[in-house]
Amino acid sequence: MRINGAQAVLESLKQEGVDVIFGYPGGVVLPLYDEIYKMKFPHILVRHEQGAALAADGYARATGEVGVCLSTSGPGCTNLVTGIATAYMDSIPLVCFTGQVATSVIGKDSFQEADICGITTPITKHNYLVKRPEDLLRTIKEAFFIARTGRPGPVVVDIATDVFRAEMDFDYPEEVHLKGYSGLFKGEECAIDAAVEALLQAKRPLAFVGGGVTLADEAEDLRAVIKKAGIPVCSTLMGLGCVDPDTEAYLGMAGMHGSYAANMAITGCDLLIGIGVRFDDRVTGVVKEFAPEAKIVHFDIDAAELNKNVRVDYPVLGDLNWSLPRFAKKLAACGVDLPARFASWREKIAAMHASHPFSYQKRNGVIMPQQVIETAARLSGDDTIFVTDVGQHQMWAAQFCPVSAPRHFLTSGGLGTMGYGLPAAIGAKIGRPKQKVVLFTGDGSIMMNCQEMATAADNGVDVKIVVLHNHLLGMVAQWQRMFYEHHYSQSQLHGHTDLVKLAEAMGVAGVHVEKPEDLEKALSDALSREGAVLIDVMVPEDADVLPMVPGGKRLDEMILEQEAAK
């Protein structure tokens, strides 16, 4: 049967199991939008293309499936860029379709022309410009394969508008043939043996887990490894949820705003077992003095991550699907009662964590931001997907939300994209409609993509938006307070914006909360209500995220809550 290119794109999406597109129409993609109309293909109309890319990202993080977004050429696709970079930094599988001007006018500075492949080359796993109808189906097949296999990432498929109109047979390829990429990442068995041996030699081992575990859906095997090894474990921001927070000697997040015990354990351990982490500068502090006494084991799928930021003694290259089950098995077969061997070290670290938990001082008459996170997390229940924006509230959420499972804490870790939260929460809710979705945001971040409240309202997307409203760009102000002599340069938001009215103007219910005694009821009412709600909670301006490792310092040189209070 002959169909046109636009129909072929949608048929391909069906073959790939895509159940929703996040997009925004425009000139060159009109042929595709006409087929979306005729075929009634599920599509969420966002209000800004950045929202489309970030919603697709939230969908992908919540479900583990490839997120799909669509924009027109020129400004449409350049608006996707921040979302694509966000996905790239956190290795999130996306396929971003963009329309391109007709092949005959590419390169002529045509109306709404932009070289999106050139623009996105450094922020995509791969990208394609499709100029010939005969390349279309193979390209889409490859794009999904590349996005979801190996270390996942975003792929851009830029399609010249005449390709949408070209007639073709729909013959979707079953297999992918790429000379330089197989999507398989098995390592060498002896690397795992070396890691086991290193653990047997260690006296003070520590596991350090990251987003790679979530991407590989390997939390179960990880939990088995931790149990069999009986060692303390800490997490990166991206790894939250991989370890059950009730696990003995689980220390929560490490790094700049990580827990005291996590950072002290990293500094004091003699073997650090990194699993699906990339030793980002927010987690290492000054990198030369990171884990100074430790040999480092590093499990990762990406050879370029090994030895990129820290020197690794025992690299275990390979997909965690391959390596973690083997590691667990070999630990079980090693004939040593590891939990007994490491008991005193584990208990020492656990006690350190118990005596230095994440904490804050409550104040009379004002709602502390950490209190909002704790209360909302408690009221929302176990299976809630928490989404954050970027800034102080993000770190407080990471510290005070007990995240019980992977894909339950969605945050822009690598790129730190303000404006991430609302569209990502919408995408997450659409991907996981049965789960509650709670967004923690700030009065700075929410304004970066507040237009997506209209998307939520008009599509009946039930997201709860909790704004920690401190009238500041909180994290900027915190740094200015600590390192720039309280010069609050361009970080104050004492304006006229009424977030409740803004929400209501777009059809989202709005609630204003100011008094501590009203917090519990307001949150509980909002969370149990149907439909999108914005809860605007007033919090003090001067709260700091602590502990904090100042830039250029070692992880054990933290500013602690107790010290800051003095």
- Confirm or reject binding of residue 78 to another protein (CB under 8 A): no
φ, ψ for residue 235 (rounded to 5)? -135, 160
- Confirm or reject binding of residue 61 to another protein (CB under 8 A): no
- Confirm or reject binding of residue 378 to another protein (CB under 8 A): no
Residue 478: which of 551, 386, 412 has the closest Cα? 551
In the complex with another protein, the residue whose CB is nearer, 311 or 501, is 311
Rounded-to-integer distance, Cα 244 and Cα 259, Å: 16
Q: Under DSSP, is residue 168 helix (H, G, I), strand (E, B) or coil?
A: strand
- Confirm or reject binding of residue 295 to another protein (CB under 8 A): no
Shortest spacing between CB 98 and another protein, in angstroms: 14
Shortest spacing between CB 304 and another protein, in angstroms: 4
The total number of residues written for the chain in this structure = 566
Q: How many degrees, rounded to 5, is the angle at CA 85 between CA 65 and CA 26? A: 80
Shortest spacing between CB 182 and another protein, in angstroms: 11
Q: How many degrees, rounded to 5, is the angle at CA 535 between CA 533 and CA 538? A: 170
Q: Which long-range contacts (CB under 8 A, 24 or more apart) does 474-479 make?
A: 474/391, 474/392, 474/393, 474/442, 474/444, 474/543, 475/390, 475/391, 475/392, 475/395, 475/545, 476/391, 477/541, 478/392, 478/544, 478/545
In the complex with another protein, the residue whose CB is nearer, 306 or 376, is 306
In the complex with another protein, the residue whose CB is nearer, 4 or 127, is 127
> 138, 165, 227, 308: which one contacts another protein (CB under 8 A)?
308
E strand spans, 263-422: 271-275, 295-300, 314-317, 385-388, 409-410
Residue 71: which of 121, 116, 111, 26 has the closest Cα? 26
Site for another protein in 253-292 (CB under 8 A): none
- Confirm or reject binding of residue 146 to another protein (CB under 8 A): yes
Residue with tokens 């990471």: 398
Contact by Cβ (8 Å): 168, 5: yes
Binding range to another protein, per CB under 8 A, among 172-180, 360-368, 467-475, 543-551: 172-180
Q: Which long-range contacts (CB under 8 A, 24 or more apart) does 408-411 make?
A: 408/241, 408/383, 408/384, 409/240, 409/241, 409/385, 410/58, 410/61, 410/62, 410/385, 410/386, 411/237, 411/238, 411/387
Shortest spacing between CB 41 and another protein, in angstroms: 28
In the complex with another protein, the residue whose CB is nearer, 143 or 264, is 143
The total of other beta-carbon atoms located within 10 Å of residue 254's CB is 31
Kindly write out the interface string for residues 88-117 of this chain, putting x where it contacts another protein by CB under 8 A and - elsewhere.
-----------------------------x
Kindly write out the interface string for residues 442-461 of this chain, putting x where it contacts another protein by CB under 8 A and - elsewhere.
--------------------
Shortest spacing between CB 110 and another protein, in angstroms: 18
In the complex with another protein, the residue whose CB is nearer, 180 or 495, is 180
- Confirm or reject binding of residue 128 to another protein (CB under 8 A): yes
Rounded-to-integer distance, Cα 266 and Cα 262, Å: 6
Shortest spacing between CB 312 and another protein, in angstroms: 10
In the complex with another protein, the residue whose CB is nearer, 178 or 343, is 178
Binding range to another protein, per CB under 8 A, among 70-78, 173-181, 285-293, 374-382: 173-181
In the complex with another protein, the residue whose CB is nearer, 88 or 322, is 88
Binding range to another protein, per CB under 8 A, among 61-69, 176-184, 215-223, 289-297: 176-184
Contact by Cβ (8 Å): 316, 299: yes
> 47, 61, 126, 469: which one contacts another protein (CB under 8 A)?
126
* Residues contacting 121, CB < 8 A, separation 6+: 127
In the complex with another protein, the residue whose CB is nearer, 131 or 227, is 131
φ, ψ for residue 209 (rounded to 5)? -115, 150
> 18, 20, 129, 398: which one contacts another protein (CB under 8 A)?
129
Q: Applying CB under 8 A, which residues contact another protein?
A: 117-118, 121-122, 125-129, 131, 146, 178-181, 302-304, 306-308, 311
